[in-house]
Amino acid sequence: MVVNHTWAEAYPSQNHVQTVENDGIYNVKITFNPDTKDVNCELTLIQGDIRGDVDGDGEVAIADVTVLIDYLLSGQTAPAVADCDQDGEVSIADVTCLIDFLLSGNWPVPEIEHIYTVAGTPTSLFGSEWDATNESNDMVKGDNGVYIWKYEGYVASGATEVAFKVVEDHNWSHSWPANNFETLIGTEGAPLTVYIVTIVFDPNADDNNKVQFYLQEVQNPE
């Protein structure tokens, strides 16, 4: 919610994310309380299939668990709404997912895969100046969930000032660290040197340790 058509005052502080559980046509109602600054979004399905409504009676209830189990035991093709965990197939895992929903009232929230990009200066290192949309600087996710950006063969002499941030989804709304990460490559008077520059980003670490910078000297060209 934006006040007086300017981003100077907007709520909530982080973007409001609303998950649509089922394909269909919805009525959308957004409300804002100017006293508490609370933002609420209500979605009402007016046309479409309901996730978990396996028996097709218009609501999700314990009866749908029984019908879903019957489908699995009989080998018959279940309706698309029976894929409760939305993994693309109907299996016993959907029975567990449906029971969990009936107990908690919430479907599991799918993990959002973000893109993390390095944006900074100098251009000789990053190819552009503070460009959050430069896809060539997108980081690569490792098996451990940590993201890596690497420049092999960066050539510099003396001390080169480096400043950068890691940007989420090519948008400056979320970037780390809070202040620019600033460091030097090389030292004053150092000869022409080849480096491997590595930037590591751990989205699960605390804010002070999300971004790490590593520099490896490869060789000093003759």
pLDDT in tens, 168-186: 999 999 999 999 999 999 9
pLDDT in tens, 137-161: 999 999 999 999 999 999 999 999 9
Of the two residues 63 and 221, the one the predictor is more confident about is 63
Model confidence at 49, pLDDT cuts 50, 70, 90, reads: confident
pLDDT for 47 equals: 47
pLDDT for 10 equals: 86
Residue with tokens 């029976």, as numbered in its chain: 82
Q: Would you list the domain boundaries of the chain?
A: 1-48, 59-110, 116-219
CB 197 within 8 A of CB 154: yes
For 116-219, CATH number? 2.60.40.10
Residue 121 pLDDT exceeds 50: yes
> Does the bond joining 177 to the residue before it have cis omega, within 30 degrees of 0?
yes
CA distance 61 to 47: 19
- β-bridge mates for residue 147, sequence order: 141, 201
Residue 198: closest CA among 175, 215, 211, 177: 215
Stretch 36-47: mean pLDDT: 76
Residue 38 pLDDT exceeds 70: yes
Tokens, residue 23: 């394909």
Tokens, residue 122: 């100098």
For the chain, give the number of residues.
222
pLDDT in tens, 55-111: 988 889 999 999 999 999 999 999 989 999 988 899 999 999 999 999 999 988 777
Model confidence at 23, pLDDT cuts 50, 70, 90, reads: low
Residue 222 pLDDT exceeds 60: no
Model confidence at 201, pLDDT cuts 50, 70, 90, reads: very high
